[in-house]
Amino acid sequence: MNKPFVTRDGNCRVITSVFAGTPDDLFLKISPLRDIRERIFEIRFDLFSYHEIRTLNEILGYMKIREAPFIFTYRTEDIDDAREKYILAAENGALAVDLDIALKDLIEDFTGRVPVILSFHGDGKWVLKNVIGMMEDSNADSYKLANFYENLTGFTEDLAIISRFRQKVENPLSFIPMGKGNEILRVASACLVSDFAYSKLDAESAPGQLTYREMSSLINTCMSLRQKR
């Protein structure tokens, strides 16, 4: 097991998810940011138009030159392709790699290299307890559980399950209630049970994302009110 890329210190770190058509498009998006070295970006490589090694090398080279901290995510069912791209990212400065639970057999490839975020993305029909069982049996360094919610009842039931899971483990985790109109649920989850949360730079990489500024401001307000109680 590796040292996680975030700590469980009572705060929730906001990650900015980014993608673009080409590396040049990404550079144009990120370059104007004044706080590029203070943020953590998620490179959603699967959402780029091209997935060749050359494209990835251009992206990684730019992030290194700009000293922009990042985690790397590549959603694919091709395990050999995934291994190649994730290893390249790990060797070129990624703070962590985000592996979908379907690729959990790759976790051991990164022991001693870079922290692994084991992630699950559900459609709202999965039983979260079963997913948590699979995660507990892994050797991941952090956990991310994202699920779709169409009503408050389903969210609160799963929030309670995640809260109990959090009490059992020491690993950082993130619980993400996806879906249009669920922005406030994302904030609630970030404040109550998550050590890291996700935001958008411009376009959403998942439904319901707020911008980095919006997410950070709302989380800080929430945390401040909790401390004053």
Q: Indicate the residue type of 112.
A: G
Burial class (CB in 10 A: 0-12, 13-18, 19+), 19: buried
Task: Read off the pLDDT of each residue in 118-135 and give the average, rounded to a whole number.
Answer: 87
pLDDT at residue 227, as a whole number? 63
Q: What is the pLDDT at residue 114?
A: 95
- Of 48-62, 79-93, 99-113, which gets the smallest average pLDDT? 99-113
Query: For residues 55 and 217, what is the distance between their CA atoms, to the nearest angstrom?
Result: 34
Cα–Cα dist 227/7, whole Å:
19
Task: State the pLDDT confidence band at 111, using cuts at 50, 70 and 90.
Answer: confident
Q: What is the pLDDT of residue 216?
A: 95
Helices 53-65 and 79-91 sit at what angle, rounded to 10 degrees?
A: 20
Q: CATH classification of 13-228 is 3.40.50.360, yes or no?
A: no
For the cut 70, the answer to whether the pLDDT of residue 228 exceeds it is: no
Whole-number pLDDT of residue 224: 79
Outline where 31-174 has alpha helix (H).
53-65, 79-91, 128-136, 152-168
The answer to whether residue 157 scores a pLDDT higher than 90 is yes
Tell me the C-alpha distance between 100 and 22, whole Å. Answer: 23
Is pTM, for the whole model, over 0.75? yes
Q: Average the pLDDT over each of 1-15, 60-74, 203-217 and give the range with the smallest value.
A: 1-15
Query: What pLDDT, on the 0 to 100 scale, is given for residue 222?
Result: 86
